[in-house]
Structure 1
Amino acid sequence: MTHHPALDETRTQVTLPVAKVTLLEDRAQVRREGAVALQAGRNRVALWGLAPVVQDVSLRVDVQGSAKLVDARVRRAMRVGHVEKPEAAAALEQQLLELERRWRDAAEQRERAAMRAAVVDDMLHKAMAEVPEDAGWGLGHPKTWEDTFEALSSTSRALLADERAQRAAMERLAEQASHVVTKRTLIDRPDHRLECLVEIDLDAAAAATVKLGLEYVVPNALWRPFHTAHLVDGKRLRLTCQAAVWQNTGEDWADAQLVFSTARSSLGHEPPKLSDDKLQAKKREQRVVVEAREVAVQNAGLGRAGSGGGGTPPGGVQLPGVDDGGDVQNLKAQHPVTVPSDGRPSFVPIFTFESDAATSLVAMPELDGKAMFKSVQTHAGKHPVLAGPVELVRASGFVGTTRTLYVAPGERFALGFGPDADVRVQRTVDVTEEVDPIDQWRRKTHAVSIFLSNLGGEDKALEVSERMPVSEIEQVEITLVADKTSGAPEVNEHGIVTWKMTLPASSRMRLSLTYVVAFAPGVQGM
């Protein structure tokens, strides 16, 4: 049987605030620092308020000054605060009543806005129904109709926006009320309040003030990269790299310096599993069986500026978490922050950089019938951009989200900012097959037609990308038919065919791509 001695109430309580927190992918290393006044002889101190989930074996204590560390241990205890309970419960109940009152007010405002919007929509429909009748009798005027419809539409949009805002406020208030109810429940169950402390024994030859440091590891804490890309005036990109932090350790980190690390301390190494290799000889088959497969070319970076190449970032271990390209990163927050222990995300800025952006419209007809607004820029920061979600912002405001892969400093990378409203794209494919009577090669001719339309009043600089297969064996040949292909497109090693053009305002254009896939006699599978 394990004996747990009672807590020593005679120990001197000290305060060591959280100074630094190093966040990993699934845990955090916390460091506390502070000055402690010691008396001559044995000093028995206690530090309360630690996270109850602290890993005992990770505790490290260091002393700077004329004192010697004798012992340090982690203790836990159930504490019942009978004296504090009535005041705390009353405060929470008052807060809950206030949240309920605000929720009711928001619900009433949302209902009023919805009713007024319905009335305005009804008026709009009736006015539209009367237009043909008035026009038949020669009444009314187009300018009057336009002003009436514009006023009703503006009112309807404003009321619907108000209704959505009140609905969002109701959701926020309901979430806050849920947290308050949870805290109130914990007060009603004081036997479930777990406290954690560290008992430290120090020897001092004389009275002195020393600097005491405490380090330990806690679970229930993690971080992930999150970026915000703001395209300024369509010419410069401002990228803000942040860390989304979650922690529910039981202790708040107040005004702490945060460090975000991609190290994986729990990543073990296992020897490869060995199996027997059976070698046997067999007759080589005369027929060749081939198959087509899709290959995703994942390369966020476009190479360093001036290199003209598309350098692939160094590969890391393929595990869920933060992709650092195989190189451990330790990124510091710009300033001390406070992260409460509530399990909700806190966004902490790490670094920001600006770079000139080359913008263009890119169309990939096989994937989408719209042209996407793309920006290409150089990473001008000192730290790499880690793989993660990107929030996209333009002059009009938030336009959507995307994801980026690992981008090294000095490397060019591209981001998509959503579709262009004026450009439409359609694609058709016609495949014919024939066998050459002389060499018996089977040839498939693929004729791809791309139809482009610009519905806007301005010319559009457009980049259209199509693809053709790439052969890896000599029994299959792919040939681009230049005289049946529009212009002189660029073709890279991955088979991506690219046209760069200007699409005039209010115009249409057709692009043609023709290529032949030839199979040698005996090739099967396609």
Structure 2
Amino acid sequence: MATDTPSPALPGATTVTPAPLPLPVTAVTCLEDRAQIERGTTVALAGGEQRLRLGPISALAVDRTLSAELTAAAGAARVLDSRITRAWTPRAPGPPTADDSALRHRLHELEEARRTAVERHQRLTVRADLLEQIAADLLREIGESTGRGQADPQRWSRELTRVADEQDDCEERLRALNAEHQRLAREEQQARAVLAQAESEPLELTAFLELTVHAEQAGPAELRVRHLTPCALWRPAYRAVRIGGTLRLESEATLWQATGEDWTGVRLTFSTARSALAAEPPGLVADQLTLRELSGEERRTVEVELREEEIGTLGPDQPATAGELPGVDDGGEVRVLQGPAAATVPGDGRAHRVPLGAFAVAATAERRAVPELSPLVTEVVTFRNDSGRPLLAGPVDLIRESGFVGRGELRFTAAGADAELAFGSSDDYRLLRESEESRSTSGLPGLGQRSLLTRTVRVHVSRLGPPAEPAGAAGAAGAAGAPERITLRERIPVSEVSAVEVRLRKEACDPAPDEVDTEGVVRWELAVPPSGRRTVTLVYEVAASAKVAGL
């Protein structure tokens, strides 16, 4: 039996591998809006210079970020040139194959049925036109024969009846076919919409990595390739489980990737680095300051205005709303999180959660009310970040012993700092806020006249009572009927100019506030029994001199 013996390679000759070598993804570093892909494999090198073709890889790989390294066990090996080549291979026309899903087969059947219905409609339309022409010819023949005195009423009646029956049958078939065509079009549209959500079209653009390497001697070598790829991003997410006085916080990374290839069994690293941002400092421009004399009107008048300032400590008091995932907030310092185990992430563009860690800590709950912002009383849980690392900002799935209760938001929290989560509103509380104000003046015009604005805010807090307990459950009824404490917060203006003075009238407040901070937030601790009602009154004054304008 004769066999072909390959001829020895000439020195310096280029050897092209007959088929591409696989180059799987081994590690991925996910950034805020892209991913750094690391690939690795073992290649068998021959002595001298040669070319390798590996892949396929993602066609979205960024060429200018490509780097390749060779590590040979025997002798030296290095990469002389590396490049990514792409090929356009459109999908072959024809019906779906056995590898396609049942949904694609169903869509193909609907397309064929609608195409057949269109052809039948065209044939019936032609037949209807022919019958219309036959009826016109028959009527013309009747007119001409009657004029010549060659009447044949029996034959004419028979022919007209047969043509009318054929026209009625054709019109009925056309109506049925139109209804079937509309039904098929609706089903085809629904199938296309479902297919667009369930599956993605196969990529027509493929990419391969071509390397030119030089090896001192033949032998195996380890190849490592790195490059950036768009269409991949991650955001932090959490799952908070509260049982009694303990809160368990599970950290997760929500990952999306539509790079055109699946990441199977890869090491995942999540970084908050923003490689797309420019590192250049802003340019300096000249800022010229000039002085001028105030006019008489400006000396006599002080322009002031009321403005809203957002206070960060009031954020957790508001009911959490489920919105889009926020951007990565790392507190101004790059954070790197390691995945605990290898993971598989399909390239379907959907959200996939990767667990990062969890910790349990003691938590305290407090009911808070901010009636100026919301008529609800929110339960806020405070806990300490004992994870040993900062908690990035992200959405939190809130879970009680009874199950899932909603979604909140966790702000950036340093290690060892306190964090707050709003676990929704308490349904047994109602708030009603009323506000009124009055204006007056004191003093003589031009001799220290002052305007006085007095504002009175009343907040009515109502608590619905629990249902009546049976006689044998006196202990349970007593526990349910115990008063609960809520924290109510209001605010007063804070003046930044000496011409305007804000004074809290504590003697007119009922009850007296427990605390007033420097930012103008007034706080009360209220005990409200079941079926009880409390009214909180806040009174403050804003006094301004006559030269103040804008209030």
Q: TM-score range by the shorter chain?
A: 0.7 to 0.9
Counterpart CA distance in 1 for 2:529 and 2:382 is 23
Counterpart CA distance in 2 for 1:411 and 1:100 is 59
Q: Which residue, out of 235, 238, 246, partners 1:236?
A: 246
Distance 1:15 1:517, change over 3 A: same
2:407 is aligned with 1:391:
no
Counterpart CA distance in 1 for 2:516 and 2:108 is 63
Deviations 1:372-413 (A, max 9, x none): 111011111122121222222222222222223211111101
Question: Which structure 2 segments of 5+ residues have no match?
Answer: 1-13, 110-189, 317-325, 467-480
Contact 2:237 2:251 in 1 (8 A): yes
Q: Which residue of 2 aligns with 1:126?
A: none
Size of the aligned set, in residue pairs, is 423
Distance 1:177 1:323, change over 3 A: same
How far apart are residue 300 of structure 1 and its match?
8.6
Deviations 1:257-309 (A, max 9, x none): 1111111112113533625525141226221111010000125999xxxxxxx
2:364 is aligned with 1:358:
yes
Counterpart CA distance in 2 for 1:180 and 1:225 is 25
Instruction: Name the SS for the 2:97 alignment partner.
Output: helix
2:282 is aligned with 1:271:
yes
Q: Which residue of 1 aligns with 2:37?
A: 30
2:187 is aligned with 1:178:
no
Counterpart CA distance in 2 for 1:493 and 1:48 is 64
How far apart are residue 92 of structure 1 and its match?
1.6
Contact 1:11 1:44 in 2 (8 A): no
How far apart are residue 454 of structure 1 and its match?
1.3
2:103 is aligned with 1:63:
no
Moved more, 442-451 or 271-280: 271-280
| Bigger-Rg structure (1/2) | 2
Q: Which residue of 1 aligns with 2:221?
A: 210
Counterpart CA distance in 2 for 1:11 and 1:472 is 79
How far apart are residue 256 of structure 1 and its match?
1.1
Instruction: Name the SS for the 1:357 alignment partner.
Output: strand
Q: Which residue, out of 443, 468, 471, partners 2:492?
A: 468
Counterpart CA distance in 1 for 2:47 and 2:516 is 81
Instruction: Name the SS for the 2:64 alignment partner.
Output: helix
Letter in structure 1 aligned against 2:208:
L
Letter in structure 1 aligned against 2:488:
V
Counterpart CA distance in 2 for 1:241 and 1:433 is 54
Q: Which residue, out of 378, 381, 386, partners 1:375?
A: 381
Counterpart CA distance in 2 for 1:99 and 1:363 is 55
Letter in structure 2 aligned against 1:58:
T
Counterpart CA distance in 1 for 2:247 and 2:419 is 11
2:507 is aligned with 1:500:
no
How far apart are residue 488 of structure 1 and its match?
3.8
Deviations 1:62-100 (A, max 9, x none): 122232222221111123676xx8897333253545899
Counterpart CA distance in 2 for 1:446 and 1:80 is 73
Q: Which residue of 2 aligns with 1:77?
A: 87
Contact 2:15 2:50 in 1 (8 A): no
Q: Which residue of 1 aligns with 2:512?
A: 487
Deviations 1:465-508 (A, max 9, x none): 11111111111111111111113421111111111132112211
Counterpart CA distance in 2 for 1:282 and 1:351 is 64
Question: Which structure 1 segments of 5+ residues have no match?
Answer: 1-6, 102-171, 187-191, 303-319
Contact 2:16 2:51 in 1 (8 A): no
Q: After TM superposition, list the pairs within 5 Å mapping 1:141-220 onto structure 2.
A: 177-179=195-197, 182-183=200-201, 186=202, 193-220=204-231
Counterpart CA distance in 2 for 1:266 and 1:179 is 30
2:98 is aligned with 1:90:
yes
Letter in structure 2 aligned against 1:279:
T
Letter in structure 2 aligned against 1:487:
A
TM score, norm. by length of structure 2: 0.71
Contact 1:259 1:331 in 2 (8 A): yes
Counterpart CA distance in 2 for 1:42 and 1:27 is 35
Moved more, 65-74 or 425-434: 65-74
Deviations 1:229-248 (A, max 9, x none): 22222x12222222222221
Q: Which residue of 1 aligns with 2:170?
A: none
2:275 is aligned with 1:261:
no
Instruction: Name the SS for the 1:242 alignment partner.
Output: strand
Counterpart CA distance in 1 for 2:346 and 2:386 is 33
Q: Which residue of 2 aligns with 1:147?
A: none
Instruction: Name the SS for the 1:178 alignment partner.
Output: helix
Counterpart CA distance in 2 for 1:361 and 1:174 is 49
Q: Which residue of 1 aligns with 2:549?
A: 524
Q: Which residue, out of 453, 457, 461, partners 1:444?
A: 453
Distance 1:475 1:300, change over 3 A: closer
Deviations 1:303-332 (A, max 9, x none): xxxxxxxxxxxxxxxxx8322111011112
Letter in structure 2 aligned against 1:295:
E
Q: Which residue of 2 aligns with 1:478?
A: 502
Letter in structure 1 aligned against 2:89:
R
Instruction: Name the SS for the 1:511 alignment partner.
Output: strand
2:57 is aligned with 1:50:
yes
Counterpart CA distance in 2 for 1:258 and 1:270 is 32
2:311 is aligned with 1:297:
yes
Q: Which residue of 2 aligns with 1:341?
A: 347
Contact 2:200 2:348 in 1 (8 A): no
How far apart are residue 8 of structure 1 and its match?
8.8
Q: Which residue of 1 aligns with 2:262?
A: 252
Letter in structure 2 aligned against 1:446:
R
Counterpart CA distance in 2 for 1:206 and 1:9 is 17
Distance 1:12 1:96, change over 3 A: closer
Letter in structure 2 aligned against 1:210:
A
Moved more, 462-471 or 41-50: 41-50
Letter in structure 2 aligned against 1:465:
R
Contact 2:428 2:464 in 1 (8 A): yes
Instruction: Name the SS for the 1:493 alignment partner.
Output: coil
Counterpart CA distance in 2 for 1:422 and 1:267 is 49
Instruction: Name the SS for the 1:506 alignment partner.
Output: coil
Q: Which residue of 2 aligns with 1:430?
A: 436
Instruction: Name the SS for the 1:515 alignment partner.
Output: strand
Instruction: Name the SS for the 2:427 alignment partner.
Output: strand
Letter in structure 1 aligned against 2:411:
L
CA RMSD in angstroms, aligned pairs only: 2.9
Distance 1:181 1:479, change over 3 A: closer
Letter in structure 1 aligned against 2:465:
G
Percent sequence identity over aligned pairs:
33
Letter in structure 1 aligned against 2:63:
D
Letter in structure 2 aligned against 1:209:
P
Counterpart CA distance in 1 for 2:419 and 2:55 is 49
Moved more, 216-225 or 235-244: 235-244
Distance 1:321 1:488, change over 3 A: closer
Instruction: Name the SS for the 1:437 alignment partner.
Output: strand
